[in-house]
C-alpha cells in the first residue's frame, strides 16, 4: 500500500485538470451525495438556466448579491 507521501508525490506530477478530477473523486468518496439530492441540484440549475435564457430570472451583479446577502444576515432586508 502506498504511503501518503508517495501519493502526494504522484499527485504533484498530475496536470491541474487531473488533480481537480482526483479531488472531486476523493470528495465524492468521503462525502457522497445521494442521487436524489444530485438530481434536485441538476433540476434546479437547469431551471435557473432556462429562466436566465428566457429573461424571467432577475440577474444582479456580485456587489448587489453580496449586499443583499449581508443585509438578510443582519435582519435588515
Angle at 54 between CA 52 and CA 57, to 5 degrees: 40
* 16-45 confidence digits (pLDDT tens): 999 999 999 999 999 999 999 999 999 999
Same domain, 23 and 47: no
Task: Identify the domain containing residue 42 by its residue range.
Answer: 35-74
Give the Cα separation of 18 and 44 in Å (integer): 28
Do residue 68 and residue 47 come from a single domain? yes
Distance CA 73, CA 44 (A): 23
Dihedral, 24, 30, 31, 33 alpha carbons, nearest 10? 70
Convert the pLDDT of each residue in 52-64 to its tens digit: 999 999 999 999 9
Residue 28 and residue 58 share a domain: no
Number of separate domains in the chain: 2
Helices (H), 1-77: 4-13, 16-30, 35-54, 62-74
* Domain identity same for 46 and 61: yes
Output the pTM of the full model.
0.53
Same domain, 2 and 28: yes
**26 and 44 share a domain?**
no
One domain for residues 10 and 41: no
Amino acid at each position: 500500500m502506498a504511503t501518503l507521501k508517495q501519493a502526494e508525490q504522484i499527485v504533484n506530477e498530475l496536470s491541474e485538470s487531473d488533480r481537480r478530477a482526483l479531488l472531486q473523486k476523493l470528495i465524492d468518496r468521503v462525502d457522497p451525495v445521494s442521487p436524489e439530492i444530485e438530481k434536485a441540484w441538476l433540476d434546479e440549475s437547469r431551471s435557473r438556466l432556462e429562466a436566465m435564457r428566457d429573461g424571467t430570472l432577475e440577474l444582479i451583479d456580485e456587489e448587489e448579491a453580496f449586499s443583499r446577502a449581508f443585509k438578510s444576515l443582519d435582519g435588515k432586508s
